[in-house]
Amino acid sequence: MAKKQFKAESKRLLDLMVNSIYTHKEIFLRELISNASDAVDKLAYKALTDDSVEVRRKDFAIRLAVDRDLRTLTVSDNGIGMTKEELENNLGTIARSGSFQFKKDLEGEKSPEGVDIIGQFGVGFYSAFMVADKVTVTSRAFGAEEAWQWESAGADGYTLNPCDKETVGTEIVLHIKENTEDEESYDRYLDPGAIAALVKKYSDYIHTPIQMEMEHSRRKEVPAQEGEEEKPEWETYTSLDTLNSMVPLWQRPKGEIQPEDYNGFYKEKFGDWEDPLAVIHTSAEGQVEYKALLYLPAKAPYDFYTREYQKGLQLYSSGVLIMDKCADLLPDHFRFVQGVVDSQDFSLNISREILQHDRQLKIISSNLEKKIKSELMKLQKNEREKYERFWTAFGTQLKYGVVSDYGAHKELLKDLLLFHSSAGEGFTTLAEYGERMKEDQPYVYYVSAESVDRAAKLPQSERILDKGYEILYLTDEADEFLMNALGEWEGKSFKSVSEEDALPETEEEKEAADRKAEENRDVLDFVKETLGDRVKEVRISRILRSGAVCLTADGPMSLEMEKYFSKLEQNGPMMKAERILELNPDSGAFAALRSAVEEDREKAGRYARLLYGQALLLADLPLEDPAAYTELVCGLMK
């Protein structure tokens, strides 16, 4: 019988398949198994209404077999089968199959995205040609007396001939390609262990049993001879094993699932040693339908805060894995979440889905975002200790989330933030801070420092604490950016305690402060002259209570931001904050400075440098010249 030609678009797709990149090739098995499973479903459905169907549900199966000598891998099913016309239409042209739309993408067949599409979604039956140089399909349709054999070695066409087949169903024999030098070997598709692993990876939840003869070994029962030691002997045997577990955990009713089941599944699937912190098992019906099983890991993976880490959820369609790390399902701020989403709304078939279901994916992703937030809030409320562990692992990610995209996600994320504060040990949420807030309190206060301990002792905090107002202690260098992005909490702005107007001044206070500044103008001018460009200004402080000195910054860049940027651009140009040296006119140190300015200018110069050094130390900024500073202090001791 003469060879028939494929339709033009099928030919091009075949070419693409044959030459597709290696890592994607293994999905051919998933595609063939899914087709077989569909065929079984179709016949099983018929059986509900048609007594002539002889196979019973429990006898439906997909069989795999390898023959190393012949280099064949066989996938057979006892599903509905195909008539001659169906073989011709379904396998002879792509126009019939769901892959039709794919020809659009073929226009850019050289583009890397085009190739990636294959890996992610597969293109059905044709993917067999990624690993096989010849494919033989023998099929007998339900209700037909005769069987037909379709055979093709790729783009040059196919043959279709009558043949014998005892039972209804389809048998697909792949003649596996020879190994090539530059590519990984094709031999693994002839290795039962490797095939079983692929079934586990891609088709574990197909609800039809996928069976293969597997070789095992067992200890032989050898009765011990008298006077002789028992010697272990081993023998091999084969058994027909079911390779897939069939019912995915997320499809089972919650009530039936034990915590160990959830945790075991997590550890096996996502390669973690530790149990997850929390499990979210959820589903939706209606506009979009899906089931999702999500996990919060207990610790950040080692590469979490690097570029290497890939976010994403596994995307299944009716139990078949279609994408391993579907990034679009998870917003960046929740990129620590692991899990699976199963939705029938996505079919295995490519482009249509990518184009049409994009919207679906967005809806699911936005539902999951809300769900994750509400579960985190529950954890925060009911299991605080766990929530704090979560925060320790992933808090930085949530803070990034607030700052990124110009604050677009801050409304969602602000409730999830934790801070240390002057209210006591442990963490507080903004809501809890809000509850403790004094009625006359004008701002939500914060102070930045290297550690909580240091923050508590900073001299500029004193006057705020004296008022009985609570201060948030910021210990991450990037925290001030967080405050900028948040802007306000329930109508009250965030305010650094280092800002002069952090407490409103009365007219009298203002006048008194202005007078003191005027009276001490000569001292301030002297100190400024001594320090030169190191500071922008030396002023009489309005924020110190008992402390003698502190350093603050004018303008938009704070000292903390300077530290942050100086770490980022270690060798680059340094962005500097405009430093203000603040002196407390009521302190003993200031009195000593004043009399030195009047009596001994040389000494006064040393005092000025000393005070500046103290201010740097308090602000956790490096001394310009530690040796000179030590000499200065020691000199003063004489």
Residue placing its CB nearer to ligand ADP in the complex, 73 or 80 = 80
* Beta strands 169-176; 72-77: pairing state: antiparallel
With CB atoms as reference, the residue minimizing the distance to ligand ADP is 124
Q: Which of 6, 13, 29, 35 binds ligand ADP (CB under 6 A)?
A: 35
Q: Which of 20, 72, 149, 170 binds ligand ADP (CB under 6 A)?
A: 170
> C-beta of 134: minimal distance to ligand ADP in Å?
17
> For residues 10 and 93, is the Cβ–Cβ distance under 8 A?
yes
Helix (H) / strand (E) containing 149: strand 147-152
Torsion of CA 353, 359, 363, 365, to 10 degrees: 60
Tell me if 470 contacts ligand ADP by CB under 6 A. Answer: no
Tell me if 171 contacts ligand ADP by CB under 6 A. Answer: no
Q: Which among 334, 393, 323 has a CA at the least distance from the CA of 369?
A: 334
Helix (H) / strand (E) containing 153: none
Tell me if 39 contacts ligand ADP by CB under 6 A. Answer: yes
User: Quick one: three-class SS letters along 26-87?
Assistant: CHHHHHHHHHHHHHHHHHHHHHHHCCCCCCCHHHCCEEEEEECCCCEEEEEECCCCCCHHHH
Q: How many residues bind ligand ADP (CB under 6 A)?
A: 18
Token code pair at residue 160: 């279709």
Tell me if 208 contacts ligand ADP by CB under 6 A. Answer: no
Q: Which of 10, 72, 83, 90 binds ligand ADP (CB under 6 A)?
A: 90
Residue placing its CB nearer to ligand ADP in the complex, 199 or 472 = 199
CB atoms within 10 A of CB 580: 21
> C-beta of 31: minimal distance to ligand ADP in Å?
6
* CA gap 163, 150 in Å, rounded: 10
> C-beta of 452: minimal distance to ligand ADP in Å?
59
* CA gap 577, 536 in Å, rounded: 9
Residue placing its CB nearer to ligand ADP in the complex, 42 or 269 = 42
Residue placing its CB nearer to ligand ADP in the complex, 150 or 394 = 150
Tell me if 99 contacts ligand ADP by CB under 6 A. Answer: yes
Backbone phi, then psi, for 162, in 5-degree steps? -70, 150
> C-beta of 258: minimal distance to ligand ADP in Å?
37
* CA gap 582, 553 in Å, rounded: 10
Tell me if 97 contacts ligand ADP by CB under 6 A. Answer: yes
Residue placing its CB nearer to ligand ADP in the complex, 81 or 192 = 81
Binding string, residues 270-299; x marks residues near ligand ADP by CB under 6 A: ------------------------------
> C-beta of 211: minimal distance to ligand ADP in Å?
15
Tell me if 422 contacts ligand ADP by CB under 6 A. Answer: no
Helix spans in 181-258 (H): 192-203
Contact segment (CB under 6 A) with ligand ADP among 96-104, 113-121, 298-306, 431-439 equals 96-104
Contact segment (CB under 6 A) with ligand ADP among 35-43, 307-315, 413-421, 470-478 equals 35-43
Binding string, residues 60-89; x marks residues near ligand ADP by CB under 6 A: -----------------x-xxxx-------
- Residue 97, classed as helix, strand or coil, is coil
Binding string, residues 325-364; x marks residues near ligand ADP by CB under 6 A: ------------------------x---------------
> For residues 602 and 526, is the Cβ–Cβ distance under 8 A?
no
> For residues 401 and 415, is the Cβ–Cβ distance under 8 A?
no
> C-beta of 196: minimal distance to ligand ADP in Å?
20
Binding string, residues 110-149; x marks residues near ligand ADP by CB under 6 A: --------------xxx-----------------------
* CA gap 190, 14 in Å, rounded: 22
Residues 6+ apart with CB under 8 A from 589: 548, 549, 607, 611
Q: Please identify which residue in the block is written with the tokens 């070789």.
A: 215
Instruction: List residues binding ligand ADP (CB under 6 A).
Output: 31, 35-36, 39, 77, 79-82, 90, 97-99, 124-126, 170, 349
